[in-house]
Amino acid sequence: MGFRPKTVRELLDWSYANLAAYQVALAQDPPAYNKVCWMTRSRMYRGLHSGDMRRQSLYKNEREKLTHKDRCAYCGVTDVPLTLDHLFAKSRHGTDSGDNLVYCCQKCNSSKGNKDYFQWIQAIGRPVSIPVAERYLKNAYAHCFQANILDLPLDAAPSDLPFDLRSIPLTWDIPAETSTKPKTR
């Protein structure tokens, strides 16, 4: 794990490639990182970086959102009324586009407030939601592509982005209880 991204593009590609490896790790029984995970990561990273591979569109994530309309995107609770949340907060210029909206419970909505998703989830010590992390990374990439800042060194990236570059996890730890099922409360 010696790789340290130097540009916005490297950071977003590396995080996304590690998220792919994480999903392979979670599919093991019991969940664990192994050689296949690292192969997945390097193939994904090289592919994204060279332009031979592209991030999947949000189609899959949007379809998931519609089929799980009764579930909080952040904590997985299903038996409570849900609200629409701006993944990238509106006060940080997150858009009203469907790509930036998720269903979540009142409790998560008010706890997250206008915080960055990763900042918030790390602060409350809950495992990341993979669909939310995917959506976040895809939206962040699209934003940086549009703003033409992908190839800026990280310390030269604007500080007023709708998301927090410094809170984006580079690697993803398997939760201690190794359960990937949504939590209920």
Least distance between Zn ion and beta carbon 169 (Å): 20
Question: Rounded to whole angstroms, how far apart are CA atoms 16 and 41?
Answer: 9
Q: Does 132 bind Zn ion (CB under 5 A)?
A: no
Nearer to Zn ion, 21 or 108 (CB): 108
Segment 26 to 85, residues that bind Zn ion, using CB under 5 A: 72, 74-75
Nearer to Zn ion, 74 or 88 (CB): 74
The DSSP bridge partners found for residue 104 are 83
Least distance between Zn ion and beta carbon 147 (Å): 30
Query: How many residues of this chain interact with Zn ion, rule: CB under 5 A?
Result: 5
Question: Rounded to whole angstroms, how far apart are CA atoms 122 and 21?
Answer: 20
Least distance between Zn ion and beta carbon 2 (Å): 36
In the DSSP assignment, the letter for residue 103 is E
Q: Does 168 bind Zn ion (CB under 5 A)?
A: no
- Orientation angle between helical segments 130-146 and 117-124, nearest 10 degrees: 150
The residue assigned the tokens 């019991």 is 30
Question: Rounded to whole angstroms, how far apart are CA atoms 41 and 31?
Answer: 16
- Segment contacting Zn ion by CB under 5 A, of 21-29, 39-47, 103-111, 115-123: 103-111
Query: 16 with 142: CB under 8 angstroms?
Result: no
Q: Does 17 bind Zn ion (CB under 5 A)?
A: no
Show the tokens assigned to 10.
Answer: 């490297």
Least distance between Zn ion and beta carbon 111 (Å): 8
Query: 157 with 80: CB under 8 angstroms?
Result: no
| From 8, 37, 105, 168, residue interacting with Zn ion (rule: CB under 5 A) | 105
Nearer to Zn ion, 6 or 185 (CB): 185
Write the single-letter amino acid at 114: N
Nearer to Zn ion, 27 or 124 (CB): 124
Which residues contribute to the site for Zn ion (CB under 5 A)? 72, 74-75, 105, 108
